């Protein structure tokens, strides 16, 4: 089955407000080290993409004080989507992703964060194109570091970073 993201809805929530959805997220077998065994309650909030009652995607916002500046939060963190939604080609800023980012920036601001970033390990040109599309779609200004910066500990943690003020 092939889904269109227009058939899906985005729901963004604080983790403590929706233990029912957090439980469902933890029961999915992702078969990937980045997603299996996540502590969902570490995240400030989570956005899920649902087709009817099925969860077909998610991302989160997260502040990691050991890696991020004070007041800084990562949005679109741990982004995952089911293979049913994947499309060939380079449509980078699909509607559901823009909705997730908008919701997460709004919630991050409510939590008192002053800036948000999106990061990517490879291809800074693609990240720059993506954040430019996000900027236009959300009417925000985004900038990008020229060099990779440390966003976590381990392999793949030096990443290019696009950021905006909240």
Q: Is the model more confident about 69 or about 86?
A: 69
The domain limits of the chain are 5-165
- Tell me the mean pLDDT in the region 79-102: 79
Contact 39, 92 (CB under 8 A): no
How far is 26 from 36, CA to CA, in rounded Å? 8
The whole-model pTM stands at: 0.89
Q: Which helix (H) or strand (E) holds 161?
A: strand 158-165
Write down the residue that tokens 């980012």 correspond to: 101
How far is 129 from 118, CA to CA, in rounded Å? 12
- Tell me the mean pLDDT in the region 81-109: 83
Q: Check whether 2 has a pLDDT greater than 70.
A: no
Q: Is the model more confident about 31 or about 135?
A: 135
Write out pLDDT tens, residues 109-159.
999 999 999 999 888 999 999 999 999 999 999 999 889 998 988 888 899
Average pLDDT value over all residues in the chain: 89
How far is 17 from 45, CA to CA, in rounded Å? 9
Q: Which helix (H) or strand (E) holds 27?
A: helix 19-27
What is the reported pLDDT for 60? 96
Predicted confidence band of residue 75 (pLDDT cuts 50, 70, 90):
very high
Q: What does CATH list as the number for 5-165?
A: 3.40.630.30
Radius of gyration, CA atoms only, the chain: 15
What is the reported pLDDT for 71? 96
How far is 74 from 66, CA to CA, in rounded Å? 13
Q: Could you write out the DSSP letters of every residue in 80-119?
A: EE-GGG--SS---S-HHHHHHHHHHHHHHHHTT--EEEEE
Predicted confidence band of residue 8 (pLDDT cuts 50, 70, 90):
confident
């Amino acid at each position: 089955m092939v889904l269109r993201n227009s058939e899906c809805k985005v729901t963004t929530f604080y983790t403590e407000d929706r233990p029912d959805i957090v439980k469902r997220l933890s029961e999915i077998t992702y078969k990937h080290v980045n997603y299996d065994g996540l502590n969902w309650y570490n995240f400030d909030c989570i956005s899920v993409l649902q087709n009817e009652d099925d969860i077909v995607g998610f991302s989160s916002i997260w502040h990691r004080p050991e890696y991020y500046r004070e007041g800084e939060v990562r949005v679109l963190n741990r982004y995952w989507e089911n293979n049913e939604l994947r499309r060939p080609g380079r449509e980078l800023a699909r509607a559901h992703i823009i909705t997730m980012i908008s919701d997460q920036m709004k919630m991050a601001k409510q939590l008192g964060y002053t800036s948000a970033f999106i990061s990517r390990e490879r291809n800074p040109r693609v990240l720059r194109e993506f954040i430019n599309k996000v900027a236009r779609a959300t009417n925000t200004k985004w900038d990008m570091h020229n060099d990779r910066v440390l966003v976590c500990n381990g392999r793949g943690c030096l990443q290019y970073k696009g950021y905006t003020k909240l």
